Amino acid sequence: MACESVTAKQITPLYKTASVKSTIQLYVQKGVTLHVSESKTDGDCKFGKTPGGWALLEGKFPEVNFSTKKCAKKGKVAEKKEKVAEKKSAKKGKIAEKGMIQGKWVFGPFTEATEENKEVTRGPFEFETGIPERAFGALSVKVTYDDNDVYSGGFNRKNREHVFVLTPRVLDNNTCEIKAFKRLYPHEVAKEADGFAWTTPLTIAYTIRIPTEEVESEDESDGGNALLGGDDSDSESSS
């Protein structure tokens, strides 16, 4: 399914896997927006995959006494994750002046792609650390493996990795957007089951090598006014 935003209708548990028998990693409050990239059902329950775990979108889960020690422990886990998110937010305002920035983004599936509408642009995607303007042209992206160590672009009928054409565009010091499409040669279009569409959670790795800032030297700033043939006193004495 395509990525979609779902608002939690009640306190919603996020499970490690798509099952109420799985470990609850944390709870989200009513009204929180969940970004769902995939859905699964387990009996009468429907789950949506989010960055924090599998959210229970439909169905019941055992009532929880939030005053118990067990819930207090889960609250600490949620608090710890919140602090990590706060640190990332603080990083957002920081601009790296040297070195290399690396990271991954989940671009997601594009199930509605056709030969006439094969490209999709998504974003904004956030850099791990802000980059200076001189590094805007140094962004390199490629399709990589997902969290399960599986090639996220999927495989063709010959069990070879699908090839994707990615075009990134830096929006500002902290974000960019990416245009993507699956590359198919004319003889492959009719043979591929999904055509230009893909159902896998396309994951993109990025690398930014920040170039050294160029500093103008004193000689260059003088404008090259040094005399090449001696000064006026030399020429007068020789005449």
Mean pLDDT of 154-166: 91
Per-residue confidence (pLDDT) for residue 83, from 0 to 100: 57
Q: Which domains does the chain have, with CATH numbers?
A: 4-92 (no CATH), 99-210 (2.60.40)
Residue 125 backbone phi and psi in degrees, to 5 = -105, 135
Q: How confident is the model at residue 220 (pLDDT cuts 50, 70, 90)?
A: low
16: pLDDT strictly greater than 70: yes
Per-residue confidence (pLDDT) for residue 237, from 0 to 100: 44
Q: What is the pTM of this model?
A: 0.53
Percent of the chain with pLDDT over 90: 39
| Tokens 């055992």, located at residue | 62
Mean pLDDT of 225-231: 48
In this structure, of 48-57, 142-151, 162-171, the range with the lowest mean pLDDT score is: 48-57
